[in-house]
Chains A and B, each alone.
Chain A
Amino acid sequence: DAGITQSPRHKVTETGTPVTLRCHQTENHRYMYWYRQDPGHGLRLIHYSYGVKDTDKGEVSDGYSVSRSKTEDFLLTLESATSSQTSVYFCAISVGTKNTEAFFGQGTRLTVV
């Protein structure tokens, strides 16, 4: 099994503060993704990375930035947290022979008060 660790698993923060979520993988997978999950919306892609320092926006990227300085780590930053960013955040990696299958981390529950 691919190993993905998300940290923290739970966080409560105040509106206007910056927050960074970390995703760490152990198997040198090239593609990494950040999704948010909200009721009725399924999972929506925030940002993704296709290599070190190579990132691109997803469908809900406003208010978020990412960085990938090492293959194993993909950081998601909320530059100034808002209540609309209260959500569950999942990191994923692409696995399989064609990198088309996603394997998900355990998720981070973020509450912005």
Chain B
Amino acid sequence: AQSVSQHNHHVILSEAASLELGCNYSYGGTVNLFWYVQYPGQHLQLLLKYFSGDPLVKGIKGFEAEFIKSKFSFNLRKPSVQWSDTAEYFCAVNEGKAAGNKLTFGGGTRVLVKP
């Protein structure tokens, strides 16, 4: 079964600092990769996605992620965070139609940005 690992459970940083969250997945075949964000008390919202093509993908709110196939990684980055980026971030993998288009999630990383 597919597994997704997020290396950091909690991250605390100050405004304007750079953020990088690690994500590794286990499936060796073709995958679709996602980062979701969950602001306090809210549901999950899509931050960005990778299907194919340019391994560097840009999402909303200044976030970007890099797909490195050889490392089974899809790390999330933001050059300069804001207080409003305080949230929990989830990496997810979709194995495609044959697997029911199910998403497998990592355990999440709670990010706290201090003003």
Interface string of B33-66 (1 = CB under 8 A from A): 0100000001111100101000000000000000
Q: Is B44 touching A101 in the complex (CB atoms < 8 A)?
A: no
Q: Nearest-CB distance from B23 to chain A (Å)?
A: 11
Judge whether A43 and B101 touch: CB under 8 Å.
no
A42 in contact with B106 (CB, 8 Å): yes
Rounded to whole Å, the gap between the CB of B66 and the closest CB of chain A is: 19
Residues in A with CB closer than 8 Å to B71 are: none
Q: Which residues of A contact B96 (CB under 8 A)?
A: 98, 100
In this complex, how many residues of chain B approach chain A with their Cβ under 8 Å: the count is 27
| From A42, A50, A106, A107, contact of B105 by CB (8 A) | A42
> Using an 8 Å CB-CB cutoff, how does the interface string of B81-99 with A read, 1 for contact, 0 for none?
0000000001010101100
Residue B28 is within 8 A (CB to CB) of chain A in the complex: no
Quick check: is A19 within 8 A (CB to CB) of the other chain? no
Q: Are B105 and A43 in contact (CB under 8 A)?
A: yes
Contact between chains at B43 and A104 (CB < 8 Å): yes
Q: Does B69 contact A (CB under 8 A)?
A: no
Q: What 0/1 readout, one digit per residue, does chain A (12-48) give for beta carbons within 8 Å of chain B?
A: 0000000000000000000101010000111111001
Q: Number of A interface residues at 8 Å Cβ cutoff, please give it.
A: 27
> Which A residues are CB-close (under 8 A) to B22?
none
A99: contacting residue among B1, B9, B101, CB under 8 A? B101
A94–B106 CA distance with the chains assembled, in angstroms: 18
Which residues on B sit within 8 Å (CB–CB) of A56? 100
List 18 A–B pairs whose Cβ atoms lie within 8 Å, in order of A's numbering.
Answer: A31-B100, A33-B102, A43-B90, A45-B103, A45-B104, A50-B101, A56-B100, A58-B102, A59-B1, A90-B44, A98-B51, A98-B101, A100-B51, A101-B34, A102-B34, A103-B46, A104-B45, A105-B43
> Could you list 17 further interchain pairs (A-B, Cβ under 8 angstroms) beyond the known A42-B108, A94-B101?
A31-B100, A35-B105, A41-B107, A42-B6, A42-B105, A43-B90, A43-B92, A43-B103, A48-B102, A56-B100, A58-B102, A59-B1, A90-B43, A98-B32, A99-B101, A100-B96, A102-B46
